[in-house]
Amino acid sequence: MTPATELPPLTDLYTDLHAHPELSLAETRTAGIVAERLRAVGCTVDTGVGGTGVVGVLDRGDGPTVLLRADMDALPVAEQTGLPYRSTVTTVTPDGREVPVMHACGHDMHTAALLGAVAELAADTAWSGRALAVFQPAEELGTGAAAMVADGLFERFGTPDVVLGQHVAPLPAGVLGVQPGPAFAGSDALTIRLYGRGGHGSRPETTIDPVVLAAAVILRLQTIVSREVAGAETAVLTVGSVHAGTAPNIIPDTAELTVGIRTFTPQVRDRILTAIERIVRAECAASGAEREPEFTSTHSFPPLVNDGEGARATAAALAAGVPGIRVIEPGPVTGSEDVGGFATASGAPLVYWILGGADPSLFAGARDEEDIARIVAEQPSNHSPFFAPVIEPTLGIGVAALRTAALHWLAR
């Protein structure tokens, strides 16, 4: 076991994690580093939970059980930040594709901040209870939380009294966003396979072109949110990928689309899913397709809903306990998170907040909330190849926020 005093500083850990990202369910190097650091500060550690998940436990006897969660996986994105610690990693996916890998959503920041918070909790002898540090795989697939629960997370490590966590975003560093109630959208992902009839590109009249069919479907799907969802409701529909064909002179037999949907209510979700199927089937019929389309759900999880009372109390504790920060209610965001699965499965309240990660100097001239919103919109967002939180003060605030929130609940 490496002594805690011999571990790399937290900033070095963060840059190392950023330079060595791993895709969902392949977070083996990251999990090994996490386990080593947890053991070094005195945690009881279990690995391989829900696949590649890691759980560290600090047990101080009677008192509340607080679950602190960070996700570890990266994305198939080619980093373009130009940072000296940028990722140049590529990997081969289970289906044989070589892809670039980048921490384009900030999960490296989440992991480093939670490790720092656990180290500070381990050094603090003034609290009692149990702190569960849960390092989750496969958040980007929307399956990691459910996999850890199915692997006996609560039976093995105890049922929490609260679930806490944070997500870095391009708000200015120094701002924490705590939204009571619905805070992040629910997410659904579909793969849609369209069937045509292939042939020579010079004789399209002998074919049923699935590329033209796919184009018609893509355009028509965009009318769902604009024409079938009320203006007072919120939804997002994105066609994230299109795959068809191999050469310019071949009309292929099939085309495949992947579609992402973000909603906040079951009613809007059902309306959108129904409309997608109706439109796709109608466009296939209009194109003369001889085979019905196929729809495959690749993930589905509900909106993230913060406990109202818990969120307000935690926000007050953060405002009082983390020097130099500003706590706001940012409103619901259309990004999605599966951390709510821990709260739902355990029956515990959830408090999950946004950790500002944009360089605060960029906001120096902002006069009001409208100016701040405009500057935020100009920053590279999560999943962008240019997304790169400024290390400090983001990391230090992330550590302090997790520690402060945990101590608020452990003190009860």
Annotated binding site for Mn(2+): which residue ranges? 105, 107, 140, 167
Q: Which residues are annotated as a binding site?
A: 105, 107, 140, 167
Encoded tokens for 20: 């060595």
| Dist. CA 23–CA 341, nearest whole Å | 21
CA distances from 261 to 156, 297, 330, 352 (A): 34, 11, 21, 21
Is 373:331 a contact under the CB 8 Å cutoff?
no
Give me the torsion for CA of 88, 106, 110, 56, rounded to 10°. -50
Is 117:132 a contact under the CB 8 Å cutoff?
no
Q: Smallest Cα–Cα separation from 158: which of 71, 70, 56? A: 56
Identify the H or E element spanning 308.
helix 308-321
| Dist. CA 145–CA 94, nearest whole Å | 21
Q: Residue 172: what are its φ and ψ, rounded to 5°?
A: -65, 140
The number of residues in the chain equals 412
- Looking at 315-397, which runs of residues are DSSP E strands? 326-328, 350-358
Is 182:264 a contact under the CB 8 Å cutoff?
yes
Is 73:139 a contact under the CB 8 Å cutoff?
yes
| Dist. CA 191–CA 24, nearest whole Å | 18
Is 64:410 a contact under the CB 8 Å cutoff?
yes
